[in-house]
Amino acid sequence: MLNFHPNVTQPSQAALERALLLLHRALGPSKVLSARESCEVYSHDDSEAEGRMPDAVVLASSAEDIATTLRIAEETAVPVTPRGGGTGRVGGAVPSAGGIVLSTLGMKQVKEIDRRELLAVVEPGLVLADLHAAVEAEGLFYPPDANSLLACAIGGNVATNARGPRAFKYGVTRNYVLGVEATLIGGRSFFAGRRTTKGVTGYDVTSLLVGSEGTLAVFGDITLRLIAKPESVMTLMALFPNIQASCRAVESIIVMGLVPRCIELLDHGTLEAVRRAGNALNAQAGAMLLMEVDGPGLEVERQAARVGELCDEAGALEVLVAQDAGQRDRLWAARREMSPAVRRMAKHKLSEDVVVPRGKIAELLLRVARTGERLQLRNVTYGHAGDGNLHVNFLWDDESEVPRVEQGIEQLFRDVVELRGTLSGEHGVGLMKAPYLHLEQSETLIELQRGLKNVFDPHQLLNPGKIFSADRSHGAC
Amino acid sequence: MLNFHPNVTQPSQAALERALLLLHRALGPSKVLSARESCEVYSHDDSEAEGRMPDAVVLASSAEDIATTLRIAEETAVPVTPRGGGTGRVGGAVPSAGGIVLSTLGMKQVKEIDRRELLAVVEPGLVLADLHAAVEAEGLFYPPDANSLLACAIGGNVATNARGPRAFKYGVTRNYVLGVEATLIGGRSFFAGRRTTKGVTGYDVTSLLVGSEGTLAVFGDITLRLIAKPESVMTLMALFPNIQASCRAVESIIVMGLVPRCIELLDHGTLEAVRRAGNALNAQAGAMLLMEVDGPGLEVERQAARVGELCDEAGALEVLVAQDAGQRDRLWAARREMSPAVRRMAKHKLSEDVVVPRGKIAELLLRVARTGERLQLRNVTYGHAGDGNLHVNFLWDDESEVPRVEQGIEQLFRDVVELRGTLSGEHGVGLMKAPYLHLEQSETLIELQRGLKNVFDPHQLLNPGKIFSADRSHGAC
């Protein structure tokens, strides 16, 4: 664990007691947790960031509950940390100042799916996989597919502008949010956006809310754009002797105008972890691409064949095409096993989620390897090669290695910025990348963003310490 | 002409003289116009809004010129109206307070087209058709295709989040802007966004700038996402006895999961105008759909055939499929002739650009017909049916009709909001829709947007009177 103690003001004991009293009175005891053992799970998310214990957890079941909580929070000056599925990787849902955690995970209703208007209206606590199932049952498709889809909630997806493998073809959550009910600190609610795909009245407040990591407003009903479900999908796996060859294949696929819905890359170290987990992969393979092509049946076959040829031309050792669902599942096995397999390689793992222009993937991996050698730091990388989005994992067993991990992270970020990339492709800034934001963004841009934050939350009560916090102290693991 | 005199503060004569002196000194006489005859063209755009004569026009040829102008404007407290191609339809480029018009139309360079990264970096004055030509020469594609593409500039496209017929399949300008160099009033510049398609560091300032109608910052270099050029395109025209039948066709095309890149609708009155312009159309036809399907060759043929069948099933009188470029051109003739043909029907024409859920198109047209009868107001409608985006044109010859036109507009907007649509699909708010914004948006949302404006432009010097102006007085036509 890494401790992040951003420079946030903690509420006074009197304020907390008053907030708790008012919350109990307004919402009843079943919706307000305050016992340490029930609050504990809300003190962290799926990141290495350690937060503070929340003083109260509100389990909202309606828009009114959200508004009531945000009204009481403002009245008592107690900070609020909104929370969805708690699957975030950068501490975005960690209550860095204690106070109230506001969970919307209990609001799971699919309120509307409209085949004619190609939209859905859903509550923020709906789990992504359940959204997928509901819309696919109607012959429709919601493309974003964060890897945590079995646990992450759509509200959190919107808060982080979540994405996943299919983003290469289909884009990200922001591209699918038509409108959102939002409640400000203080309890005022408003609807931003619209139900139509087009619309240009005023500023795009909806896009500003998407990806704002719970720092501007708390989401209620979310109106999502849907598309037609693709007729058919084909999965291909290609093994290459090294990263360079796999990058050549990605490049020619893109330059030829082909658009697989995903192009996943696994590096040498990741393949080694997968092999150790019992998956018998070609021993010569130093890189893998796992790809999916979707669309109308015949066209999918044609595209898959072309993708396979381009992999061959780039020097693939072998290319496998799944002929049925069982084979498809086996091809994805390596990808699925990857994360737990990597986790088993060391006591601690920190996965950084960087993006570089896709022509710079090989260069970045070379630099990471050099940093690893210099700092004696184990690392493996996998990611979404179509978007240049790589998860660079640093591994360590002993506390004494932490300073080197920190150096490795900073070197990685500096390399990414130098290669004209960005610090986060899909996890966000949260607590953990806040100290590094200035590496990528200018003072002017950061100052403007602080100004935007102040418009929505002038007293810094909503998810304090996130995105912009500059303070960081390193703790034990 | 309709006069819009929003409640904006005009600069003092002394301030104007000082600004002019400083601009001349800093930029030289060739870049600063102040003679009435050279400024006149910058007092209006392609809308019915009449503005004030600018006191100076700066013809910027570099980012430095933009920064210098915005520095001097802040120093002297003289308002600035940024301007691209001047093709806007709601008075967004009209200098409502006089002052300085800042034209970036001279900055036309294509700085970079990268086939591997699928991006282009261009200056803001580049004309949209020239951008299309440049990227298509590289086998790439920039989908947004505003109808004014021969004259509109990409900077204005970004400022208005411009779109066009192809938006149904490909989305709008915002979906293609990766990053933008922007300069604030006062002259400070910053880069928002990135060069990679993914990235979630901080708030989406880029999306906020896109569609901000020149009220937040002035754009320099723009980084655009490109896609592969579609292999092939097919054009179909279907004639229907009435709007209802054409709407049934649109609905079944969408419900069947087909995605033509455009579905253009022409109503009875529009077809009548086109007939009068000499285009021999089936006399029974009361509605037309003009559609394009694109993608890989075989798939396009299959989709076009299916679209044609669905039109037949919905009751089409005839369906024509273009077999070559010449035929394709002839099918588009009606659409091309439409706007001038409608213009010839009366001395004055005001085209409102509303959106309703696509299932409500027929209902809206029925309401518009009723309003027309009640107010004795001629009207014709065409638009992008796939998106529910309709251009409702009110026609009149005599000044005495203006109060009825105004009533017609307000009734239209009320109907649109009641049908859960939006006041503008692609033209924006500018001067002309500012008085109606409150019909669609809540006070809370408008207040938040004013707050965002203040972060970027606390002294209200950048494009004053746009989007939020509440004052309106009606003038002569």
d(CA B7, CA B123): 33
Question: Which tokens in the block code for residue B233?
Answer: 């395109």
What is the C-alpha separation between B345 and B349, in angstroms, rounded?
Answer: 9
Q: DSSP for B315-376? A: T-SEEEE--SHHHHHHHHHHHHHHHHHHHTTSSEEEEEEEE--GGGHHHHHHHHHHHHHHHT
The pLDDT tens digits of the residues spanning A397-444 come to 999 999 999 999 999 999 999 999 999 998 999 999 999 999 999 999
B140-188 pLDDT, tens per residue? 999 999 989 999 999 999 999 998 899 999 999 999 999 999 999 999 9
Contact A228 B259 (CB under 8 A): yes
Check CB contact under 8 Å for A202 and B251: no
Read off the pLDDT of residues A279-293 as tens digits, 9 standing for 90 and up: 888 999 999 999 999
Q: Which of residues 422-441 of A touch B (CB under 8 A)?
A: 422-429, 433, 437, 440-441
Q: pLDDT at position B475, please?
A: 33
Contacts of B204 in chain A (CB under 8 A): 161, 174, 207-208, 210-211
Q: What average pLDDT does the segment A145-171 reach?
A: 94
What is the pLDDT at residue A471?
45
- Specify the length of chain B in residues: 477
pLDDT in tens, A310-336: 999 999 999 999 988 899 988 888 788
pLDDT bracket for residue B229 (50, 70, 90): very high
- Residue A474's pLDDT is what? 36
Q: Is A448 on the interface with B (CB under 8 A)?
A: yes
Percent of chain A with pLDDT over 90: 86
Residue B239 is predicted with a pLDDT of: 97
A2 vs B248, which has greater pLDDT? B248
Q: Compute the average pLDDT of residues A454-463.
A: 97
Mean pLDDT of chain A: 93
Query: What is the pLDDT at residue A3?
Result: 53
H/E element, A69: helix A63-76
Min distance B207 CA to chain A CA atoms (Å): 6
pLDDT mean across residues, chain B:
93
Residue A88, φ and ψ in degrees, nearest 5? -65, 155
Q: Cα dihedral sign for B63, B65, B66, B70?
A: positive
Question: What is the per-residue pLDDT for A36?
Answer: 93
- pLDDT tens digits, B327-366: 998 888 878 888 888 888 999 999 999 999 999 999 999 9
CA distance A445 to chain B (A): 6
Percent over 70 (pLDDT), chain A: 97
Q: Are A284 and A317 in contact (CB under 8 A)?
A: yes
pLDDT of A5 reads: 58
Question: With bands split at pLDDT 50, 70 and 90, how would you rate the model's confidence at A477?
Answer: very low
Mutation target for A interface from B200, B251, B427: give the one with most A CBs within 10 A: B200
Per-residue pLDDT of B47-83, as tens digits, reads 888 889 999 999 999 999 999 999 999 999 999 999 9
Asked if B194 and A445 come within 8 Å (Cβ–Cβ), the reply is no
* Each residue's pLDDT tens digit, A237-251: 999 999 999 999 999
Test mutation, A70, A138, A188, A200, chain B, max B CBs within 10 A: A200
Task: Quote the pLDDT of residue A343.
Answer: 87
Best B191, B196, B263, B298 residue to mutate vs chain A (most A CBs within 10 Å)? B196
B346 half-sphere exposure, CB direction, 13 A CA radius: 19
| Cβ pair A202:B441 closer than 8 A | yes
Flag whether pLDDT at B287 surpasses 50. yes
- Given CB atoms, is B25 within the 8 Å cutoff of chain A? no
Percent of chain B with pLDDT over 90: 86
Which element (helix H / strand E) includes A339? helix A325-343
Q: CB count, 10 Å around CB of B352? A: 25
**Is B7 a residue whose pLDDT tops 90?**
no
Residue B161, chain A, CB below 8 Å: the answer is yes
- In this complex, the residue of A198, A440, A452 whose CB is nearest that of residue B455 is A452
Q: Measured between CB atoms, does B305 come within 8 Å of chain A?
A: no
Interface residue of B174, B189, B201, B206 to substitute, partner A, most A CBs within 10 Å: B201
3-state secondary structure of A33: strand
Q: Can you give the pLDDT at residue B472? A: 40
pLDDT score at B471 = 45
Whole-model pTM: value is 0.95
pLDDT value of residue A476 = 29
Average the pLDDT over A55-76 and give the result.
Answer: 98
pLDDT > 70? residue A464: yes
pLDDT at A339: 81
Res. B474 pLDDT band, cuts 50 70 90: very low
Mean pLDDT of A217-234: 96
Report chain B residues whose CB lies below 8 A from the CB of A204. Answer: 161, 174, 207-208, 210-211
Complete DSSP assignment for A199-212: --SS--HHHHHTTS
Sort out which chain A residues have CB atoms less than 8 A from B430's CB and list them: none
